[in-house]
Structure 1
Amino acid sequence: MNRWLVPAASLLGAGWFFATAVILGVVIGRWADDRTGLEPTFTLIGIVIGLAVALIGGYRMLQPLMGRLGDEPPE
C-alpha cells in the first residue's frame, strides 16, 4: 500500500468533517431564525459553533497524523 494513502484519506476525512460541521451550523441556525424571527442571530451563532466544532474536532482527528508524519525520516 502506498505510504501516502493513509495520510491522504485522513486529510480527506478531516475536510469532510470541517464542511459538515460548518454547513450543519448554518442550516440549524437558519432553521432557528425561521422559527423565532430573529433573522441573522441564530445563523451567526450556528456559524461560530460550527467553526468551533470543526476546529476542535479537526485538531483531534489530525493530531495522530501529525505525530506519525513528524516521526518519519525525510527522503
Structure 2
Amino acid sequence: MGERLGQGMTLAEATAATSQTAEGVKSSSSILTLARRHGVEMPITEVVVAVLNGTVTVTQAATMLMTRTPKPERYGI
C-alpha cells in the first residue's frame, strides 16, 4: 500500500490494486482520534492519516516528519 501511495496513486487506486489487507488504512483515523482525546502526540500517525485522506502528498509527508522539532525520543541519536 505504501509503495503504491508513494508512486502517486490515490487511496482508492492503491486499494483496488492491492489484493491483501493493509494494516492501518482503516484504523489510523480512529487511532489518531483516540490519541488526541488523551493528549498523546503521534506525528507519524497524523501524517499517515493526511496522506490517506489525500490532503498531503508523500513528498510533503516526508518533509513534515524529517523537519519537525526534535522530541525526547530522538535525543542521543
Q: TM-score, normalised by structure 1?
A: 0.28
**Higher share of residues assigned helix:** 1
Q: TM-score, normalised by structure 2?
A: 0.28
Greater relative contact order (Cα < 8 A, sep 6+): 1
